[in-house]
């Protein structure tokens, strides 16, 4: 049952540079395709190819695997073959100014219509001013005015003739018209009138009353004549304005005759301009039509701004469908916003201040979003879902959605939405949304799951080399020789802790390539070598390992109690991994056990003080099941044991130390010392099988560095699960120590194998009579547990005898 330590070749899988036919990556064809993402690429093509509602994409996988690059590349290839979406403009709604209308135009026509309308307004100013300064207008207006004056004068002349026949004269006074009698061609004064005979006075009064009745009739008709004259002049004004406007508008209508919505809008503009032609005349008071157009003090946007075109989205010179990445997916960045201007302490707006959002920009194409960023923005996720379900874009502020304001604001006409949304996020986010949001699965039916590792074989080696070639050319870096490529591939295996896999985390590989180029340049080389790659790896570790160095220093100084020589009973070196800021490192931790007679409990001190996580607590309970199922099967388990991570002041989680804890318990029960020059990692099940754990490379290297910091490496080693052998990609100095026989790595399959290595005593197997040999580890453990059970039975029997005279119950 003795376990042989691993050979140096088992600790690391080299990449043979001779397998490559090139000398440097400059000879290779660059490849931007991501490694091992064939299934993801197939899902992307399906998602962007199917044209049905709800088939939006969610790309899930760790950050740095190249999700965005691959998706963007695939989408842009598809988008080139798709039609350019239409332009969208907002225009003034002449029937309801607070509800701007949306115009859909062919690609590139939005800015053209804007320029045409700006030119139309400029032409209108000249044309309308010119037509009202023309001789024709003056002549016709003067004729209408003279006609009114002539009719008025004719009516008054008739009154004068009647008055003359009656010896009465019609006088025009400052207070109006009056009638007076005449003698010898001169008006009769009051005194002279009263001196006249009575019958004559009565005749004159009768004549004047009759004439006054006629005068009143004329005076009553004169306002009607004036109104009719003004109506005729206004009709003339409208006719002249229409004559000035018609050729200009007709020209535009002919230009846009294939766009009925534009033609209808131009006709409405024509009608509005004719109705408000005075706004185009100089030195005219501008009547307020709507507060958003002309503030009470007369300041603000000119009247003709209502004829402007707000090009919300234009596609001049664009080819294919748009591909948009929204790096800040806040609510207003997605759905658009309505801007305001401050004026006299108040905020005012109009349709020209409507701005497009990412959904407008991507409409008719593709929108790429970061899931976490969307979920972190208030109401952004809810707004996105609502608009996708409705199939239209409604520009609303957060205050409107939350009903925080009740004042009248702009309500732009919704725009139809036709967009394919691609969300990027971690797997955890995807699974949480699937579980917690019922609408998510209806809107994002295509999952694009990115691999974080690929199979390591000659094909993936070559693909790695081609990826390095692409990175060097894209970044203008030095080419890598074949040895440098091989070293990058080996580091790719180390990143995933697996000899048979390579990392698909392209960001980390790209960083290593650029940093190796830097070190090659600092050494004056024209191409990158394996030494440069190794130097870059070492520099990355050196920049991040302050905490690990500090832990080793405190261990060396004796602050942290770790024994790396000698033997101890019930004490063992467990191995833990700490990850800080993307840098993981291992360090040893002393684990101790204490046993005594008890009720069959294994107490996890970490759990009792709430420092142990549920997985660690599960591992400790498994130990109790292992002891009860293997030893003293004819006796009750009668021990009380305690386990603890010494000098542990934070949380403990995971079951990778459960085998070390079991070894400590067995050492305590068997009273056998454990070699402190060895450290242990691995989980265990109730059958005593040692199971694989994570971070095996960091754990081995952490213990190696601790031992090296205390003195020469000699006889030290680590016990790891045999299932983790394929994950080993250890440093060169550790492999060299193994080659020299100064450091050992033992692959352990069972607890029996491990306890033999740690104590030097055979574990022992049951004889045909069902007993373990006495001087084996298992024999000593079973004897101890059997002794505990018998002592407990003796104590209970003695207690029962003492209780009999007094009638006590045992």
Q: 137: Cβ–Cβ under 8 A, 6 or more apart, which residues?
A: 131, 236, 240
Helix axes 198-255, 109-132, angle to 10 degrees: 150
What is the distance between the alpha carbons of residues 537 and 530, in angstroms, rounded to a whole number? 11
Per the DSSP assignment, residues forming a β-bridge with 652 are: 612
- Sign for the pseudo-dihedral over CA of 430, 435, 436, 441: positive
Report the candidate in 111, 200, 214 with the shortest Cα–Cα distance to residue 158.
Answer: 214
* 719 contacts 678 by C-beta, under 8 angstroms: yes
* 613 contacts 743 by C-beta, under 8 angstroms: no
Report the candidate in 80, 84, 101 with the shortest Cα–Cα distance to residue 418.
Answer: 84
Give φ, ψ of 107 to 5 degrees.
-55, 130
For 92, 293, 420, the CA distances from 97, given in Å and listed in that order, are 6, 10, 33
Report the candidate in 4, 6, 15, 21 with the shortest Cα–Cα distance to residue 466.
Answer: 21
Which tokens hold the place of 715? 């006889």
Measured distance between the N- and C-terminal CA atoms of the chain, rounded to whole angstroms = 47
What is the distance between the alpha carbons of residues 449 and 748, in angstroms, rounded to a whole number? 35
* 26 contacts 479 by C-beta, under 8 angstroms: yes
Q: CA angle 509-514-520, nearest 5°?
A: 125
Report the candidate in 521, 538, 672 with the shortest Cα–Cα distance to residue 593.
Answer: 672
Other beta carbons within 10 angstroms of residue 217's beta carbon come to 12
* 626 contacts 662 by C-beta, under 8 angstroms: yes
Would residue 721 be called left, alpha or beta, if left means φ above 0 and alpha means ψ between -120 and 50 degrees?
A: beta
Q: Which residue in this structure is represented by tokens 């748009």?
A: 322
What is the distance between the alpha carbons of residues 183 and 590, in angstroms, rounded to a whole number? 143
Q: Which 3 state secondary structure label does DSSP give 346?
A: strand
Calculate the dihedral angle through the C-alpha atoms of 575, 578, 579, 581, rounding to the nearest 10 degrees: -150
Task: Please identify which of the residues 677, 699, 737, 789 carries the catalytic annotation.
Answer: 699
* 770 contacts 38 by C-beta, under 8 angstroms: no
* 707 contacts 563 by C-beta, under 8 angstroms: no
Other beta carbons within 10 angstroms of residue 227's beta carbon come to 11
* 319 contacts 363 by C-beta, under 8 angstroms: no
Q: 54: Cβ–Cβ under 8 A, 6 or more apart, which residues?
A: 442, 443, 444, 445
What is the distance between the alpha carbons of residues 134 and 237, in angstroms, rounded to a whole number? 12
Q: Catalytic residue at 288?
A: no
Task: Please identify which of the residues 383, 503, 638, 656 carries the catalytic annotation.
Answer: 656
Q: How many CA atoms lie within 13 A of 543 on its CB side?
A: 9
Per the DSSP assignment, residues forming a β-bridge with 447 are: 58
Q: Catalytic residue at 699?
A: yes
Report the candidate in 412, 122, 411, 116 with the shortest Cα–Cα distance to residue 266.
Answer: 116
Per the DSSP assignment, residues forming a β-bridge with 422 are: 57, 368
Other beta carbons within 10 angstroms of residue 184's beta carbon come to 5
Would residue 778 be called left, alpha or beta, if left means φ above 0 and alpha means ψ between -120 and 50 degrees?
A: alpha
* 597 contacts 784 by C-beta, under 8 angstroms: no
Which tokens hold the place of 491? 């580091």
Which residues are catalytic, by number?
656, 699
């Amino acid at each position: 049952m003795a376990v042989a330590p691993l050979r140096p070749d088992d600790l690391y899988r080299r990449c043979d540079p001779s397998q490559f036919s090139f000398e440097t990556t400059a000879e290779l064809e660059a490849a931007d395709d991501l490694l091992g993402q064939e299934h993801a690429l197939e899902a992307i093509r399906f998602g962007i190819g199917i044209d049905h509602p709800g088939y939006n994409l969610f790309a899930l996988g760790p950050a740095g695997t190249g999700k965005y690059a691959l998706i963007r590349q695939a989408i842009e290839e598809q988008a080139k073959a798709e039609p350019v979406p239409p332009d969208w403009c907002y225009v003034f709604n002449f029937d309801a100014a607070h509800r701007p209308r949306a115009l859909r135009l062919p690609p590139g026509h939005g800015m053209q219509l804007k320029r045409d309308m700006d030119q139309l307004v400029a032409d209108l100013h000249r044309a309308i001013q010119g037509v009202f300064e023309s001789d024709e207008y003056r002549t016709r207006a003067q004729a209408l005015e003279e006609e009114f004056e002539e009719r008025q004068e004719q009516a008054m002349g008739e009154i004068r003739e009647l008055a003359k026949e009656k010896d009465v004269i019609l006088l025009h006074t400052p207070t109006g018209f009056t009638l007076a009698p005449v003698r010898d061609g001169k008006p009769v004064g009051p005194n002279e009138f009263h001196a006249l005979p009575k019958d004559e006075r009565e005749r004159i009064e009768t004549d004047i009353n009759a004439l006054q009745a006629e005068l009143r009739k004329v005076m009553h008709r004169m306002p009607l004549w004036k109104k009719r004259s003004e109506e005729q002049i206004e009709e003339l004004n409208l006719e002249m304005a229409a004559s000035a406007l018609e050729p200009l508008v007709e020209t535009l209508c002919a230009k846009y005759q294939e766009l009925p919505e534009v033609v209808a809008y131009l006709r409405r503009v024509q009608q509005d301009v004719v109705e408000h032609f005075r706004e185009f005349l100089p030195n005219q008071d501008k009547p307020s039509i709507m507060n958003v157009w002309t503030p009470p003090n007369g300041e603000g946007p000119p009247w003709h701004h209502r004829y402007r075109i707000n090009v919300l989205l234009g596609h001049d010179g664009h080819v294919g469908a748009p591909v948009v990445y929204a790096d800040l997916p806040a609510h207003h960045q997605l759905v658009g916003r309505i801007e305001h201007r401050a004026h006299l302490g108040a905020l005012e707006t109009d349709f020209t201040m409507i701005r497009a959002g990412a959904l407008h920009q991507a409409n008719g194409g593709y929108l790429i979003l970061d899931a976490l960023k969307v979920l972190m923005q208030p109401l952004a996720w809810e707004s996105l879902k609502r608009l996708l379900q409705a199939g239209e874009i409604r520009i609303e502020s957060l205050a409107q959605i939350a009903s925080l304001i009740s004042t009248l604001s702009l309500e732009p006409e919704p725009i139809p939405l036709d967009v394919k949304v691609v969300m990027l996020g971690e797997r955890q986010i995807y699974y949480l949304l699937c579980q917690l949001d019922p609408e998510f699965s209806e809107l994002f039916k295509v999952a694009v799951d990115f691999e974080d590792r690929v199979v390591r074989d000659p094909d993936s080696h070559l693909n790695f080399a081609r990826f390095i070639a692409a990175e060097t050319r894209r970044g203008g870096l030095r080419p890598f020789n074949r040895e440098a490529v091989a070293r990058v591939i080996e580091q790719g295996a180390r990143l995933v802790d697996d000899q048979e896999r390579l990392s698909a985390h392209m960001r980390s590989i790209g960083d290593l390539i650029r940093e190796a180029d830097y070190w090659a340049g600092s050494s004056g080389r024209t191409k990158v070598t394996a030494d440069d790659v190794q130097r870059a790896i070492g520099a990355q570790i050196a920049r991040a390992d302050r905490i690990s160095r500090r832990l080793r220093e405190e261990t060396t100084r004796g602050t942290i109690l770790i024994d790396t020589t000698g033997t101890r009973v019930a004490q063992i070196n467990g191995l833990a991994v700490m990850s800080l800021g993307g840098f993981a490192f291992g360090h040893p931790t002393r684990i101790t056990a204490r046993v005594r007679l008890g009720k069959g409990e294994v107490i996890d001190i970490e759990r009792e003080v709430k420092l142990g996580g549920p997985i660690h607590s599960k591992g400790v309970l498994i130990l109790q099941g292992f002891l009860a199922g293997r030893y003293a099967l004819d006796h009750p388990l009668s021990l009380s044991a305690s386990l603890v991570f010494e000098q542990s002041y934070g949380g403990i989680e995971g079951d990778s130390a459960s085998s070390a804890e079991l070894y400590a318990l067995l050492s305590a029960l068997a009273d056998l010392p454990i070699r402190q020059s060895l450290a242990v990692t691995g989980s265990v099940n109730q059958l005593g099988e040692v199971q694989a754990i994570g971070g095996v490379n960091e754990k081995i290297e952490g213990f190696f560095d601790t031992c090296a910091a205390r003195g020469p490496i000699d006889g030290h080693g680590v016990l790891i699960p045999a299932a983790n052998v394929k994950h080993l990609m250890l440093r060169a100095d550790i492999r060299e120590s193994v080659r020299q026989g100064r450091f050992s790595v033992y692959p352990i399959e069972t607890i029996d194998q491990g306890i033999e290595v740690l104590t030097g005593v055979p574990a022992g197997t049951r004889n045909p009579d069902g007993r373990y040999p006495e001087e084996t580890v298992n024999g000593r453990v079973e004897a101890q547990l059997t002794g505990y059970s018998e002592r407990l039975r003796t104590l209970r029997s003695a207690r029962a005898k003492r209780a009999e005279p007094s009638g006590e119950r045992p």
